[in-house]
Amino acid sequence: MSKSTRQKKKIATTSQESDLENSPFSILDAKGLPDVPLPQSTSPRVLGKPKSKLGQGERLEIRREKSGRGGKTVTTVLGFPTYLGEAKKSKMLKTLKTSLGTGGTWNGKVMELQGDRRDEVFQWFMESGFTPVLAGG
């Protein structure tokens, strides 16, 4: 096949009309599609409510840490009372992780959650009966 027979016709990419008047979606038709109402407003995500008042006014420190973690941000919560057993702590962590849609673990006596989630965690612990404090910077 020679070069002259392989040449393709060039398609013009510029037009004489304004680009704002030509929409690639103008030929689409909504005929046959159901009418779906658009959401009026987006409300903030509501975390899972704690089932009982675990805290009795105990102070918890909620921090955002990044140092020594390879650039990853972690929210840490420390100062849990000793009367909360391991089972209650694990259940509390699972509820928080499910509500936030993030990972987390216990590192000794410190709860660690992935990402900067201080505001959401603060609100959840307030509703649980604790007295959380945003510590650090």
**21-67 per-position pLDDT tens digit:** 666 666 677 777 777 776 665 555 555 555 556 666 778 999 999 88
List pLDDT tens digits, range 1-11: 566 666 667 66
Q: Mean pLDDT throughout 78-103?
A: 89
Q: Which one, of 98, 58, 107, 95, lies nearest residue 80 by Cα?
A: 58
First-to-final CA distance of the chain: 71
CA 118/CA 128 separation, integer angstroms: 15
Q: Give me the pLDDT at residue 72, please.
A: 92
- Mean residue pLDDT of the chain comes to 79
Tokens of 36: 């779906």
Q: Give me the pLDDT at residue 64, please.
A: 93
Q: CATH assignment of 59-134?
A: 3.30.780.10
Tokens of 129: 């009966």
Q: What's CA 129's distance to the chain center, in Å?
A: 24
Report the largest interatomic distance among the alpha carbons of the chain, rounded to a whole angstrom. 87
The confidence band for 84, taking pLDDT boundaries of 50, 70 and 90, is confident
Does the pTM surpass 0.85? The reply is no
The confidence band for 12, taking pLDDT boundaries of 50, 70 and 90, is low
Contact of 104 with 76, CB cutoff 8 Å: no
CA 10/CA 110 separation, integer angstroms: 65
